[in-house]
Amino acid sequence: MSDRDPAEGGLRGRKKRETRAALVAAAVRLAAEHGAENVTVDAISEAAGVSPRTFFNYFDSRDEAFVMVGAESSGRVRRAVLAAPADVSPLAALRDALAAELGEVEQQHELWRLHSQVLRRSPHLLARSIGAHVEDEFTLAETLAERIGAGSPLFTEGRPPFGTAEGEQRRQALGLYPRLLAAVGTTAVRVAAEHWCVRQDEATFEAVFRTVFDHLAAGLTEPTVPVVPVVPVVPVDEA
Protein backbone atom coordinates (compact mmCIF):
# COMPACT_ATOMS: atom_id res chain seq x y z
CA MET A 1 0.00 0.00 0.00
CA SER A 2 1.33 3.44 -0.84
CA ASP A 3 1.92 6.14 1.74
CA ARG A 4 2.59 9.07 -0.53
CA ASP A 5 1.79 11.93 1.78
CA PRO A 6 2.30 10.74 5.34
CA ALA A 7 3.08 14.00 7.12
CA GLU A 8 2.89 17.02 4.85
CA GLY A 9 1.76 20.06 6.81
CA GLY A 10 -0.01 23.29 6.02
CA LEU A 11 -3.09 23.93 3.94
CA ARG A 12 -1.81 21.88 1.00
CA GLY A 13 -1.19 18.86 3.20
CA ARG A 14 -4.60 19.17 4.82
CA LYS A 15 -6.33 19.34 1.43
CA LYS A 16 -4.49 16.23 0.28
CA ARG A 17 -5.53 14.32 3.38
CA GLU A 18 -9.13 15.45 2.94
CA THR A 19 -9.12 14.34 -0.71
CA ARG A 20 -7.70 10.93 0.14
CA ALA A 21 -10.25 10.48 2.94
CA ALA A 22 -13.08 11.47 0.58
CA LEU A 23 -11.92 8.92 -2.01
CA VAL A 24 -11.71 6.15 0.60
CA ALA A 25 -15.16 6.96 1.99
CA ALA A 26 -16.66 7.04 -1.50
CA ALA A 27 -15.04 3.72 -2.41
CA VAL A 28 -16.25 1.97 0.73
CA ARG A 29 -19.81 3.29 0.50
CA LEU A 30 -20.12 2.38 -3.18
CA ALA A 31 -18.68 -1.09 -2.53
CA ALA A 32 -21.11 -1.66 0.34
CA GLU A 33 -24.02 -0.67 -1.88
CA HIS A 34 -23.08 -2.30 -5.19
CA GLY A 35 -20.34 -4.83 -4.40
CA ALA A 36 -16.65 -4.02 -4.76
CA GLU A 37 -16.37 -5.88 -8.07
CA ASN A 38 -18.97 -3.54 -9.60
CA VAL A 39 -17.34 -0.27 -8.53
CA THR A 40 -15.06 1.56 -10.97
CA VAL A 41 -12.39 4.21 -10.47
CA ASP A 42 -14.56 6.60 -12.46
CA ALA A 43 -17.49 6.05 -10.10
CA ILE A 44 -15.33 6.54 -6.99
CA SER A 45 -13.78 9.69 -8.41
CA GLU A 46 -17.15 11.14 -9.38
CA ALA A 47 -18.60 10.45 -5.93
CA ALA A 48 -15.60 12.17 -4.31
CA GLY A 49 -15.77 15.11 -6.71
CA VAL A 50 -12.35 14.60 -8.35
CA SER A 51 -11.04 13.30 -11.65
CA PRO A 52 -9.86 9.70 -12.25
CA ARG A 53 -6.39 11.13 -12.83
CA THR A 54 -6.46 12.60 -9.34
CA PHE A 55 -7.46 9.19 -7.96
CA PHE A 56 -4.17 7.71 -9.13
CA ASN A 57 -2.23 10.47 -7.39
CA TYR A 58 -3.30 8.78 -4.16
CA PHE A 59 -3.69 5.08 -4.96
CA ASP A 60 -1.92 2.58 -7.16
CA SER A 61 -5.10 0.63 -7.87
CA ARG A 62 -8.84 0.63 -7.28
CA ASP A 63 -8.63 -2.12 -4.65
CA GLU A 64 -6.19 -0.08 -2.57
CA ALA A 65 -8.88 2.53 -1.93
CA PHE A 66 -11.18 -0.09 -0.39
CA VAL A 67 -8.71 -1.00 2.36
CA MET A 68 -7.21 2.39 3.25
CA VAL A 69 -9.67 3.33 6.01
CA GLY A 70 -7.64 4.79 8.88
CA ALA A 71 -4.38 5.03 6.92
CA GLU A 72 -3.79 8.65 7.95
CA SER A 73 -4.24 7.66 11.59
CA SER A 74 -1.33 5.21 11.49
CA GLY A 75 1.18 7.90 10.60
CA ARG A 76 -0.09 10.20 13.33
CA VAL A 77 0.19 7.42 15.91
CA ARG A 78 3.81 6.71 14.96
CA ARG A 79 4.76 10.39 15.16
CA ALA A 80 3.05 10.76 18.53
CA VAL A 81 4.91 7.74 19.92
CA LEU A 82 8.23 9.33 19.00
CA ALA A 83 7.18 12.73 20.36
CA ALA A 84 6.04 11.46 23.78
CA PRO A 85 8.11 12.66 26.79
CA ALA A 86 11.16 10.55 27.59
CA ASP A 87 9.87 9.64 31.06
CA VAL A 88 6.70 8.04 29.66
CA SER A 89 6.83 4.26 29.35
CA PRO A 90 6.59 2.72 25.86
CA LEU A 91 3.19 1.21 26.71
CA ALA A 92 1.85 4.54 27.98
CA ALA A 93 3.27 6.37 24.95
CA LEU A 94 1.49 3.92 22.66
CA ARG A 95 -1.73 4.17 24.67
CA ASP A 96 -1.75 7.96 24.56
CA ALA A 97 -0.91 8.04 20.85
CA LEU A 98 -3.77 5.68 20.08
CA ALA A 99 -6.13 7.53 22.43
CA ALA A 100 -5.59 10.71 20.43
CA GLU A 101 -7.25 8.96 17.49
CA LEU A 102 -10.34 7.83 19.39
CA GLY A 103 -12.47 10.73 18.22
CA GLU A 104 -12.03 9.68 14.61
CA VAL A 105 -13.03 6.10 15.41
CA GLU A 106 -16.28 7.21 17.03
CA GLN A 107 -17.05 9.82 14.39
CA GLN A 108 -16.47 7.34 11.55
CA HIS A 109 -18.25 4.42 13.19
CA GLU A 110 -20.63 3.98 10.26
CA LEU A 111 -17.79 4.00 7.71
CA TRP A 112 -15.90 1.37 9.72
CA ARG A 113 -19.05 -0.76 9.84
CA LEU A 114 -19.44 -0.57 6.06
CA HIS A 115 -15.74 -1.28 5.63
CA SER A 116 -16.08 -4.47 7.67
CA GLN A 117 -19.09 -5.46 5.56
CA VAL A 118 -17.15 -4.93 2.31
CA LEU A 119 -14.24 -7.04 3.53
CA ARG A 120 -16.54 -9.90 4.58
CA ARG A 121 -18.08 -9.96 1.12
CA SER A 122 -14.76 -9.81 -0.77
CA PRO A 123 -12.17 -12.37 0.39
CA HIS A 124 -9.42 -10.91 -1.82
CA LEU A 125 -9.90 -7.50 -0.20
CA LEU A 126 -9.87 -9.10 3.25
CA ALA A 127 -6.56 -10.78 2.43
CA ARG A 128 -5.16 -7.48 1.20
CA SER A 129 -6.38 -5.69 4.31
CA ILE A 130 -4.76 -8.28 6.56
CA GLY A 131 -1.49 -7.91 4.67
CA ALA A 132 -1.65 -4.13 5.05
CA HIS A 133 -2.41 -4.54 8.77
CA VAL A 134 0.64 -6.77 9.25
CA GLU A 135 2.87 -4.27 7.46
CA ASP A 136 1.44 -1.39 9.47
CA GLU A 137 1.90 -3.24 12.75
CA PHE A 138 5.51 -4.03 11.87
CA THR A 139 6.18 -0.39 11.02
CA LEU A 140 4.69 0.61 14.39
CA ALA A 141 7.04 -1.91 16.05
CA GLU A 142 9.99 -0.29 14.28
CA THR A 143 8.83 3.09 15.61
CA LEU A 144 8.63 1.69 19.15
CA ALA A 145 12.11 0.21 18.73
CA GLU A 146 13.37 3.64 17.69
CA ARG A 147 11.77 5.18 20.77
CA ILE A 148 13.49 2.79 23.19
CA GLY A 149 16.82 3.11 21.42
CA ALA A 150 16.72 -0.31 19.77
CA GLY A 151 15.93 0.83 16.24
CA SER A 152 17.94 -0.27 13.22
CA PRO A 153 20.13 2.38 11.55
CA LEU A 154 19.63 0.49 8.28
CA PHE A 155 16.12 1.81 7.73
CA THR A 156 16.04 5.40 8.94
CA GLU A 157 15.49 6.71 5.41
CA GLY A 158 13.07 4.10 4.09
CA ARG A 159 11.48 0.74 4.65
CA PRO A 160 11.94 -1.83 1.88
CA PRO A 161 8.90 -4.07 1.35
CA PHE A 162 8.69 -7.58 2.71
CA GLY A 163 9.44 -10.31 0.22
CA THR A 164 12.73 -8.68 -0.76
CA ALA A 165 16.19 -9.32 0.64
CA GLU A 166 16.15 -5.89 2.31
CA GLY A 167 12.70 -6.63 3.70
CA GLU A 168 14.02 -9.75 5.38
CA GLN A 169 16.78 -7.64 6.90
CA ARG A 170 14.03 -5.52 8.43
CA ARG A 171 12.61 -8.59 10.15
CA GLN A 172 15.99 -9.65 11.46
CA ALA A 173 16.82 -6.16 12.75
CA LEU A 174 13.71 -5.88 14.93
CA GLY A 175 13.73 -7.21 18.47
CA LEU A 176 11.03 -9.19 20.27
CA TYR A 177 9.84 -6.52 22.74
CA PRO A 178 8.80 -3.83 20.22
CA ARG A 179 7.12 -6.47 18.04
CA LEU A 180 5.15 -7.77 21.00
CA LEU A 181 4.21 -4.27 22.18
CA ALA A 182 2.96 -3.25 18.74
CA ALA A 183 0.95 -6.46 18.40
CA VAL A 184 -0.55 -6.10 21.87
CA GLY A 185 -1.42 -2.46 21.22
CA THR A 186 -3.19 -3.07 17.92
CA THR A 187 -5.00 -6.09 19.36
CA ALA A 188 -6.13 -3.97 22.31
CA VAL A 189 -7.68 -1.45 19.93
CA ARG A 190 -9.50 -4.21 18.03
CA VAL A 191 -10.83 -5.84 21.21
CA ALA A 192 -11.93 -2.48 22.63
CA ALA A 193 -13.72 -1.59 19.39
CA GLU A 194 -15.48 -4.95 19.13
CA HIS A 195 -16.54 -4.83 22.78
CA TRP A 196 -17.80 -1.25 22.51
CA CYS A 197 -19.73 -1.89 19.29
CA VAL A 198 -22.07 -4.31 21.05
CA ARG A 199 -22.26 -2.34 24.34
CA GLN A 200 -22.44 1.28 23.24
CA ASP A 201 -25.17 2.01 25.78
CA GLU A 202 -22.91 0.99 28.69
CA ALA A 203 -19.79 3.11 28.17
CA THR A 204 -17.97 5.34 25.72
CA PHE A 205 -15.37 3.86 23.43
CA GLU A 206 -12.69 5.89 25.22
CA ALA A 207 -13.68 4.38 28.58
CA VAL A 208 -13.53 0.84 27.18
CA PHE A 209 -10.20 1.59 25.51
CA ARG A 210 -8.69 2.97 28.72
CA THR A 211 -9.88 -0.07 30.67
CA VAL A 212 -8.21 -2.41 28.17
CA PHE A 213 -4.88 -0.62 28.60
CA ASP A 214 -5.31 -0.55 32.39
CA HIS A 215 -5.51 -4.35 32.25
CA LEU A 216 -2.34 -4.46 30.15
CA ALA A 217 -0.48 -2.09 32.47
CA ALA A 218 -1.48 -4.26 35.44
CA GLY A 219 0.06 -7.31 33.77
CA LEU A 220 -3.30 -8.84 32.83
CA THR A 221 -3.88 -9.97 36.38
CA GLU A 222 -7.35 -11.35 36.94
CA PRO A 223 -9.68 -8.49 37.95
CA THR A 224 -11.26 -8.65 41.37
CA VAL A 225 -14.88 -9.73 41.21
CA PRO A 226 -17.06 -7.95 43.78
CA VAL A 227 -18.40 -10.33 46.40
CA VAL A 228 -22.18 -10.36 46.44
CA PRO A 229 -23.52 -11.13 49.94
CA VAL A 230 -25.66 -14.22 50.12
CA VAL A 231 -29.09 -13.51 51.57
CA PRO A 232 -30.65 -16.64 53.09
CA VAL A 233 -34.02 -17.57 51.72
CA VAL A 234 -36.55 -18.04 54.46
CA PRO A 235 -39.11 -20.76 53.70
CA VAL A 236 -42.64 -19.45 53.54
CA ASP A 237 -43.88 -21.78 56.28
CA GLU A 238 -41.16 -20.45 58.65
CA ALA A 239 -41.83 -16.81 57.94
Domain ranges of the chain: 1-66, 69-151+170-219
Q: How far is it, in rounded angstroms, from Cα 118 to Cα 113?
A: 9
pLDDT tens digits, 146-181: 898 876 655 555 565 555 666 677 778 788 999 999
- Is there a shared CATH topology between the 1-66 domain and the 69-151+170-219 domain? no
Q: pTM here?
A: 0.69
In this structure, whether the domain defined by 1-66 belongs to CATH 1.10.10.60 is answered with: yes
pLDDT tens digits, 183-224: 999 888 888 877 877 777 788 878 888 899 999 988 888 877
* CATH of region 69-151+170-219: 1.10.357.10
